[in-house]
Structure 1
Amino acid sequence: MDGRYADCERITLICDNLNTRTKGAFYEVFPAERARQYVRRIEFVYTPKHGSWLNVVECELSCSTRQCVAGRRLGELRLLQEEIATWSGDLNARQRGVDWQITAEDARGKLKSVYPKIIL
């Protein structure tokens, strides 16, 4: 926030629901005044607890690490980018889906609190 985003008036931070991703965590790490300055600039957006797209991303990153780069030293960024591009291209060509273990009807009931309320 003091580096790359120093000139940003407001920052949107998309978080999963891990308990460390709270405003209070800033107060544990920084002096109160500095923590308050940071927190005032951040808009915290939390993903749903279950069925989150963030879960999918975390799974994909884990798979790419294990299947593509684990145990290897890639000395150049260009080489890493090529390896990841090849791996993800092969994976995307298979059009693999996510096998959620919840029905759409159950999800609507359990996740209704995260959907916006539309008033007509």
Structure 2
Amino acid sequence: MWCVKEIDNEYRKRMYKILKLYSEPYNPKYPIICFDEKHKQLISDVKNKIPMKPGSPEKYDYEYKRNGTANIFVAVDFKGGERDITVTDRRTKKDFALYIKHLVNNVFPEAKKLRIIMDNLNTHTYRSILETFEFNEAVELISKLTFYYTPKHASWLNIAEIEINAMDTQCTGRRIINKKLLINETTAYKNNRNKNKCKIKWNFTKNDADKKLSKYYINI
């Protein structure tokens, strides 16, 4: 937010729409899903770690070996306390489309429509779905979706960022050697959070935005 010097009408329009969604009471038939993705470099140690012991944290050498990269898709129903985390090799249009289908069919199968908040990455489009699936299947899938895009330079509006920060703190913010271990670790994190129905409370409202950000508004 601090890098934005001016907030135009389009920024406010998108911001207000998302803040209005966040203020709605929870409806499991029309859940608000915050979606994002995280790039993860897979790294192994060159030298053995010194294990943690009472009064001393784990220590490891600055040298490491690169073992490729992975992508982590994160979707969180922050009011229902449900999230999904899926590891993929890449984050192409096809990967995005397949993941959205996974959310609709497997993660939230009882929902009539998913209202998904995400950033403006060029793969995050209905077109990605149309290009991946046969036309009738794509149209059926799209009918169960509404995409909402954050303003540019407004990742702070996406609650998925909060979930990713929690995931980094508890799970992925360390060296992970390969994709298999990354899947095991993120699955354990997800299962624990879902079992405990961990929700995220959002308190920032439209009134708060106008009070704190109005000095940056232009074209009012």
- Could you tell me the TM-score, scaled by structure 1's length? 0.52
Alignment of 1:30-45 (within 5 A): 30-45=133-148
- Unpaired stretches in structure 2, ≥5 consecutive residues: 1-103, 193-212
Q: 2:161 aligns to what? A: 57
Partner Cα separation in structure 2 for residue 14 and residue 71 of structure 1: 29
Residue 57 of structure 1 aligns with an amino acid whose one-letter code is E
Please identify which structure carries the higher strand content. 2
Partner Cα separation in structure 1 for residue 168 and residue 130 of structure 2: 34
Give the SS at the match of 1:45.
Answer: strand
Residues 54-82 of structure 1 show CA distances to partners (whole Å, capped at 9, x for unaligned) of: 39928x63x937x974225697737xx7x
Give the SS at the match of 2:107.
Answer: coil
Q: How many correspondences in the alignment?
A: 89
Q: Cα–Cα, structure 1 residues 70 and 38, in superposed 2: closer, same or farther, change >3 Å?
A: same
Identity of aligned residues (%): 25
Partner Cα separation in structure 2 for residue 32 and residue 68 of structure 1: 37
Q: Cα–Cα, structure 1 residues 68 and 7, in superposed 2: closer, same or farther, change >3 Å?
A: closer
Q: 1:96 aligns to what? A: none
Residue 31 of structure 1 aligns with an amino acid whose one-letter code is E
Residues 66-109 of structure 1 show CA distances to partners (whole Å, capped at 9, x for unaligned) of: x974225697737xx7xxxxxxxxxxxxxxxxxxxxx7533x22
- Unpaired stretches in structure 1, ≥5 consecutive residues: 82-102, 113-120
Given the alignment, which residue of 125, 135, 151 partners 1:22?
125
Q: Cα–Cα, structure 1 residues 4 and 64, in superposed 2: closer, same or farther, change >3 Å?
A: closer
Give, in angstroms, the shift of residue 51 of structure 1. Answer: 2.8
Alignment of 1:94-109 (within 5 A): 105-106=215-216, 108-109=217-218
Partner Cα separation in structure 1 for residue 159 and residue 109 of structure 2: 29
Partner Cα separation in structure 1 for residue 152 and residue 122 of structure 2: 11
Please identify which structure carries the higher helix content. 1
Partner Cα separation in structure 1 for residue 133 and residue 147 of structure 2: 18
Q: Cα–Cα, structure 1 residues 4 and 68, in superposed 2: closer, same or farther, change >3 Å?
A: closer
Asked if the contact 2:155–2:161 (Cα under 8 Å) also holds between the matched residues in 1, the reply is: no
Aligned alpha-carbon RMSD (Å): 4.1
Give the SS at the match of 2:146.
Answer: strand
- Could you tell me the TM-score, scaled by structure 2's length? 0.31
Residue 150 of structure 2 aligns with an amino acid whose one-letter code is T
